[in-house]
Amino acid sequence: MNFNTTLDDLRCLTEAVRRAGADIAPTYTEYVQLAFAIANDCGEAGRADFLALCSLSAKYNEQNAQKLFTNALRNKHKSIHLATAFHLAKQCGVTTHTTPDEGSKGREGQPPFASHTHARYNKVETDTDGNNTHDDDDNEPEPAAERTDPYSPLPPFGHGHAWPDLLEQIISYGKTDEQRDVLLLGAFTVLGSSLARVVRCQYSRKWQAPCMQTFVVAPSASGKGALTWVRLLVEPIHDKIRGEVKEAMKAYRREKAEYDSMGRERKSREAPVPPPNRMFLISGNNTGTGILQNIMDNDGTGIICESEADTVSAAIGTEYGHWSDTLRKAFDHDRLSYNRRTDREYREVSRSYLSVLLSGTPAQVKPLIPTAENGLFSRQLFYYMPRITQWADQFDEEETDVDEAFRRMGRQWKTTLEELTLQGVFTLKLTKEQKKRFNRTFSRLFHRSSTVNGDEMSSSVVRLAVNTCRMMSVVALLRSLEDSSLVKPAPDIPSDNLKDHIVQRWYMMITDVDFQAVLDLVEPLYLHATHILSFLTPTTVKSRSTADKDMLFASVGNEFTRQELLEKAQARGIPKGTVLTWIKRLTKQGALRNMDGKGTYRKK
């Protein structure tokens, strides 16, 4: 392959696309493919053209584009070549006199483009009607040595938005996009757990506290250890509670010693009662009754933070475990109770506010969540971190003590939380327009998930909406600390109370920019969840569409042709017959409409 010729071809394509004003990478799938295609065949010399092609999108963010291209240069994807860029342009009606033949293979015998989630590609040559012209023996996969992580890359969150100061400080310690993502998600979970009785929003006719259950999944040594830093944000809260318990225990022992020394006079006095063994950070290595006691002792609040998910799954699987139902109930703030026959002890808490932050390898997912029907799956926020493919320098020239930096932020947060608690309860209120945008986003996602994955993802979408409201509550509260105009007294506060500055209930707004930033997390979180679903055993559905099929549905525009869909499906390794059956089913269900009877479809 002549490098200069390849670069000339790219520049001709860039000029043609620029003249046409075409957005050839409208979704994240094409965005990633374009980066690998140019990086693989043109190297650093193709960066300017990649940025020029991306800049035609309304979603263009130069910083994110620069990072993506740098990542593509570093992590070569051998099955994607420049023919992919020409293919993407052709889909938008842009061609040049240098357009390579895309009928079967790209440069050096490579396919036009491959799935962004699968490095494996079966070479299948077709005639003009898309029929296989070779026997199955010719469909040889790439050598195993050339395969990459089959679940990479998944879409990151993107960090073009300026989050509230505390969140910006937290994510600044991430060295990669993925680390910044998990730090953001971990911060939502940990900070939300401490705001359980301070912040709320009404959704699904219930008061929702910002308590979330998050599971970061990654191969060993992939950087998920950064989550241990966010735990430090609430350790000062935990330490304060433990200090209070220690002092209460000292007082109890004194009272107990006095009581025991009273002799017969004890009959006229009640025996002192041990204080609740309160804690905020609850161990995942716990029994069923133990976890309930920990939650109830702290008035229903707390968080489980475990860096190895099998700590929790092993505890749940023991003879005295079986508390996965506690996690499910706590997500919905349900009543928790237990009764022990030995001492006829009955305890309950009317509302529970337990948060969970776990990390683990892919192999640790199934022991905790055997199937999607388990109920834990739909309640979790998932993030899949790809394996590390390049050595990274871990020496810090500035020798930053990140642990101490997070402890310092934790001490500051504890002080802020104490002040907020004295002020009362903050209720998030969305505007009518924000509610419309929220419902529009989730209505489309729910229809898409039901069509592609059936019931296995529908409940996840419903609960992702709940988690989205909870994340918005955290962001709105943090932003209000910087802009007091976003908070005002609840309208039913008596005027006399307002004059005396006695206000215990506040209405809190979220800016449109922050609202959209959280809403933009929905798509990547959904896609990460569909990939985690592929680790689990199918249950009620004997055969289901995979996450790649869901990505296929998302990758086409509102109007597309059968051939376009088949080309995309071939790159993802989805059989032609499966796609045709899928189109027929979607059309019958009313999700698609055949526009001309010749293979042009429009989404409804």
Residues β-bridged to residue 146: none
DSSP single-letter state for residue 100: P
pLDDT of residue 134: 37
Tokens of 9: 């071809």
pLDDT band of residue 123 (cuts 50, 70, 90) is very low
* Range among 14-23, 122-131, 358-367 with highest mean pLDDT value: 358-367
Give the pTM: 0.67
Q: How confident is the model at residue 523 (pLDDT cuts 50, 70, 90)?
A: very high
| Interval 446-473: pLDDT, tens | 988 887 776 778 899 999 999 999 999 9
Q: What is the pLDDT of residue 155?
A: 79
114-128, 206-220, 246-260, 444-458: the lowest-pLDDT one = 114-128
* Angstrom distance (rounded) from CA 88 to CA 94: 9
Residues 6 or more apart in contact with residue 264 via CB below 8 angstroms: none
Is pLDDT at 24 greater than 80 in this prediction?
yes
**pLDDT value at position 98?**
56
**What pLDDT score was predicted for residue 253?**
95
Please give the single-letter amino acid code of residue 183. L
With a CB cutoff of 8 Å and minimum separation 6, the contacts of 166 are 187, 191, 409, 413, 478
Could you please state the CATH topology (level 3) that the domain comprising 156-234+280-543 is classified under. Rossmann fold (3.40.50)
pLDDT higher than 60, residue 131: no
Q: Which of 311, 278, 315, 313 is nearest to 293 (CA)?
A: 278
Question: What's the confidence (pLDDT) of residue 88?
Answer: 84
- Give the model's confidence band at 54: pLDDT under 50 very low, under 70 low, under 90 confident, else very high: confident
- Give the pair of three-digit tokens for residue 90: 């052709």
- What's the pLDDT band for 2 if we cut at 50, 70, 90? low
**Cα separation of 85 and 468, whole Å?**
35
Alpha-carbon span 291 to 521, nearest angstrom: 31
Q: How far is residue 13's CA from residue 219's CA, in Å, rounded to a whole number?
A: 38
**pLDDT at residue 541 greater than cutoff 70:** no
Contact 582, 451 (CB under 8 A): no
Instruction: Give 407-410's long-range contacts (Cβ < 8 A, gap of 24+).
Output: 407/232, 407/235, 407/236, 409/166, 409/169, 409/170, 409/232, 409/233, 410/232, 410/233, 410/234, 410/235, 410/236, 410/237
At 130, is the pLDDT very low, low, confident or very high (cuts 50, 70, 90)?
very low
- Confidence bin at 474 (pLDDT 50/70/90): very high
The torsion of the CA quartet 159, 470, 195, 324, rounded to 10 degrees, works out to -110
Give the residue with greater pLDDT, 104 vs 358.
Answer: 358
Quick one: tokens of 435? 């509610």
Residue 550: band (very low, low, confident or very high) from pLDDT cuts 50, 70, 90: low
Q: Which stretch of 90-104, 295-309, 508-522 has the lowest confidence by average pLDDT?
A: 90-104
Query: Which range (107-121, 302-316, 329-343, 379-393) has the least confidence?
Result: 107-121
Choose between 152 and 182: higher pLDDT: 182
Task: Report in angstroms the alpha-carbon separations of 162 from 229, 368, 587.
Answer: 21, 35, 42
- Percent of the chain residues topping a pLDDT of 90: 41
- At 249-299, the pLDDT tens digits run 999 999 999 888 887 788 888 889 999 999 999 999 999 889 999 999 999
Residue 508 has pLDDT above 90, yes or no: yes
Is pLDDT at 149 greater than 60 in this prediction?
A: no
Are residues 158 and 64 in contact, defined by beta-carbon separation less than 8 angstroms? yes
Average pLDDT, the chain: 82
Q: What is the 3-state secondary structure (H, E, C) of 151-215?
A: CCCCCCCCCCCCCCHHHHHHHCCCCCHHHHHHHHHHHHHHHHHHCCCCEEEEECCEEECCCCEEE
The answer to whether the beta carbons of residues 96 and 12 sit under 8 Å apart is: yes
Q: Which residues pair with 207 in a beta bridge?
A: 202
- pLDDT of 77: 64
Whole-number Cα distances in Å, 447 to 453, 580, 591, 604: 10, 20, 9, 10
Largest Cα span, the chain: 106
Name the amino acid, one letter, at 580: L
Q: Residue 306: name the closest of 190, 471, 414, 463 by CA.
A: 190
The pLDDT score that the predictor gives to residue 171 is: 94
Task: Please list, in sequence order, all residues whose beta carbon lies within 8 angstroms of the beta carbon of residue 211, skipping any fewer than 6 positions away.
Answer: 192, 193, 196, 330, 331, 333, 353, 354, 355, 470
